[in-house]
Amino acid sequence: MELITAPTTIINAEDDPMSAFDNAARAADRIPGCRLVAVPAGGHLLLGSERVVQEEVRAVARPHGL
């Protein structure tokens, strides 16, 4: 993961039963410049967090003209 050079954002719910938040935090620590977005609730599908997900995707895409 340390070799990843692409802008990276990890969005993970703190209550995700399939992908523990601690794993997301460890992955983010290993990816240079990675942004970790913690969503308090929403489970694996980030239900109820659509606005946060949309905003984060736009923030990543905007500098690239997308």
pLDDT score of 64 more than 90 = no
Q: Where are the domains of the chain?
A: 9-61
CA 43 to chain centroid: 13
Closest C-alpha to 57, from 1, 8, 13, 20: 8
Q: Kindly report, residue by residue over 4-32, the tens digit of the pLDDT.
A: 999 899 999 999 999 999 999 999 999 99
> Is the torsion defined by CA of 51, 56, 61, 62 positive or negative?
positive
Q: Are 38 and 12 in contact (CB under 8 A)?
A: yes
- Average the pLDDT over 39-59 and give the result: 95
- Average the pLDDT over 28-54 and give the result: 96
Quote the pTM value. 0.87
